[in-house]
Amino acid sequence: MADPIQHRAAAELAAGYKLSHRVAELGAMAVFAVLISVFLSRVVRAGFERPVHAVLGLMIGYLLADFVSGLVHWFCDTWGSPEWFVVGPVFIRTFREHHVDPLSITRHDFVETNGANCMSVLVALVPAMWFQVDPSVSWRVVFAAVLAGFILCIPCTSQAHKWAHMEPHLVPTIPRLMQRAGLLLSRQHHDQHHVAPFVKNYCITTGLCDHLLERVGFFPTLERWITRITGALPREDDIGARAATALMADSDRDEPNATHSLAQLPPSR
């Protein structure tokens, strides 16, 4: 059957990465490097006094980063368009380009890969600088460590995503071992997202949260509620109205992975 998915052209989406974006990313990366160094020094000092609390907080932050990476990935895949003010060209455009050309991320340099995430995490890092990390108060140590784990992992999300698209022998040794241990997004896990129409395995830091989110139907439920409230059609801008309508019909029938009407679609890579 004819492929009903109608993506924008890869070249058009790639051209949306402007010099102004790169300058903003470089600035954000510089600010991030300074602020995270200061904040981490405070957390490390508190961690020496309360190591159990610090480790617990870091683990929570690590998982929280994976969940948030999935939430942002789902949103950018599902709603809005690259023309949206700021959010569109900086975030949505990148994910839409990635569906058309999944290997484009492997050709991005360090700044293009990680700059936008450094910019976005400043929303959490800047307020964190005013948080008092008091080692005498256990919840403050835990909370500071959660922030530290989250703020450290979010900028690594796109790098982990990039490694998941690279040939294994090109991935550095430590990340490759972490992929095998399930501590970092693996190629095998993420490849399942790149089967049209791209409606599963959104988490791209470790992928650990995907199993629970899939089991409870977290994202399809969110989509149904948003459509009922706003009338917007999920993924219409990304894959076209015809494919988006078919997926919504499948979702309303509770089809597994909402892909029944598009079952004959080929994978995207």
Q: Return the sign of the alpha-carbon dihedral for residues 180, 114, 67, 263.
A: negative
pLDDT given for residue 243 in this prediction? 75
Q: Residue 186 in contact with residue 200, Cβ under 8 Å?
A: no
What backbone torsions phi and psi does residue 268 show, to the nearest 5 degrees?
Answer: -85, -5
**What's the CA gap between 106 and 195, in Å, rounded?**
18
pLDDT given for residue 266 in this prediction? 43
Identify which of 1, 2, 71, 7 has the alpha carbon closest to the alpha carbon of residue 244. 7
Token readout for 31 is 């600010």
pLDDT given for residue 260 in this prediction? 46
Widest CA span of the chain, in angstroms? 66
Residues 188-210: what's their mean pLDDT?
90
User: Is 4 a member of any domain?
Assistant: no
Least confident of 2-11, 96-105, 231-240, 257-266: 257-266
pLDDT given for residue 252 in this prediction? 61
Least confident of 80-84, 96-100, 221-225: 96-100
User: Is 3 a member of any domain?
Assistant: no
pLDDT given for residue 265 in this prediction? 44
User: Is 268 a member of any domain?
Assistant: no
Least confident of 111-115, 123-127, 167-171, 245-249: 245-249
Q: Residue 194 in contact with residue 268, Cβ under 8 Å?
A: yes
Tokens 């190629």 label which residue? 187
pLDDT-derived band at 264 (thresholds 50, 70, 90) equals very low
Identify which of 217, 201, 183, 229 has the alpha carbon closest to the alpha carbon of residue 58. 183
User: Is 183 a member of any domain?
Assistant: yes
Q: What is the pLDDT of residues 99-115, one digit of tens each?
A: 788 888 899 999 999 99
User: Is 231 a member of any domain?
Assistant: yes
User: Is 63 a member of any domain?
Assistant: yes
Domain that holds residue 37: 10-262
Residues 172-184: what's their mean pLDDT?
95
Q: What is the pLDDT of residues 13-53, one digit of tens each?
A: 666 677 888 999 999 999 999 999 999 999 999 999 999 99
Q: Residue 157 in contact with residue 203, Cβ under 8 Å?
A: no
Tokens 């990313």 label which residue? 25
Token readout for 73 is 């990935």
Cis? peptide before 197, omega within 30° of 0? yes
User: Is 95 a member of any domain?
Assistant: yes
Separation of CA 239 from chain center: 19
pTM: 0.85
- How many structural domains are present in the chain? 1
pLDDT-derived band at 94 (thresholds 50, 70, 90) equals confident
Identify which of 28, 189, 50 has the alpha carbon closest to the alpha carbon of residue 111. 28
**What's the CA gap between 195 and 228, in Å, rounded?**
27
| DSSP label at residue 88 | I
